[in-house]
Amino acid sequence: MGLTKTEFFTESQNKTAMLLKALGHPARVAIIEHLLKVRTCICGDLVNELPLAQATVSQHLKELKSAGIIKGSVEGAAVCYCLDESAFEVLAAYFSGVISGVKSQKSNCC
Amino acid sequence: MGLTKTEFFTESQNKTAMLLKALGHPARVAIIEHLLKVRTCICGDLVNELPLAQATVSQHLKELKSAGIIKGSVEGAAVCYCLDESAFEVLAAYFSGVISGVKSQKSNCC
DNA sequence: AAATTTAATCGTAATATTGCAATCATACGA
DNA sequence: TCGTATGATTGCAATATTACGATTAAATTT
């Protein structure tokens, strides 16, 4: 075990969980917030910004990128990273959908 | 290692990451979506609904509850669970903030 | 009281994540 | 071309997560 049984959940549930899991680490939240401030940056900038080694930052960037949360384009020797707006639109829509669903419920709890 | 360095991130970053991590599993997304449909349910309902054993479902419920995403109230021998609206309001506000931040940036990427 | 229902907890196994040092690969400048 | 800058990858150790069977505990039913 230790293996998530993704095959028994819907495509949508797996996709949503995958996005949220990718953001479910303070270092990756910090990367997002730094990109909100500076729009674009390279890995080295984040290594200076975060209390983590270069290998660790690179790994977090890889996870964010493979989840579709950031984009990276090669810029000479460096790689330029920026936010992928579409992922956040999906998540914002998801949560506003949840909220309107909750609000449409009669009472709050049992 | 294998230990997240939460002490080096802000309170807000840790809190956001904690909420997102709690939702970053398809079973827990499925639990949220089921609660959206039925408003309240007990653990046994979810055991019938999900392809997971009772102990596993109970563990997922515990994680959601300790993150503040669901509430549970004892109802005789059973425990009645429902969504905690406030957590979703925090997250919806977070993502709409991210989106307006991204939109205020000049160009999309480098 | 005994049996049943409900779900939390314990113990364990398998796998995933986090973090880092070291190394590797690529692009650029001297 | 040789050195330098940048960052991805590899290999490893420590810890966390996922899942489940078995057990436990509490409330309800018979």
The separation, in Å, between residue B53 CA and nucleotide D20 C1' comes to 7
Shortest alpha-carbon distance between residue B45 and chain A (Å): 15
Distance separating alpha carbons of residues B21 and A30, to the nearest angstrom: 14
Which of B97, B88, B90 shows the shortest CA–CA distance to A37?
A: B97
Is pLDDT above 70 for B108? no
Q: What is the pLDDT of residues B71-106, one digit of tens each?
A: 999 999 999 999 999 999 999 999 999 999 999 987
Q: What is the CATH number assigned to the segment(s) A12-94?
A: 1.10.10.10
Tell me the HSE value of A2 on the side-chain side, using a 13 A CA sphere: 0
Task: Look over chain A and give the mean of its residue pLDDT values, rounded to a whole number.
Answer: 95
Q: Is the CB of A3 under 7 A from strand D?
A: yes
Q: Is the CB of A58 under 7 A from strand D?
A: yes
CATH entry 1.10.10.10 includes domain B10-103: yes
What's the N-to-C CA distance of chain A in angstroms? 34
CA of B47 to C1' of D2 (A): 65
Q: Which nucleotides of C are covered by protein (CB under 7 A)?
A: 5-11, 13-22, 26-28
pLDDT band of A108, cuts 50, 70, 90: low
Is B109 close to A82, i.e. CB distance below 8 A? yes
> Which spans in B1-110 are helix H?
11-22, 26-38, 43-49, 54-66, 85-103
For A42-51, the pLDDT digits (tens) are: 999 999 999 9
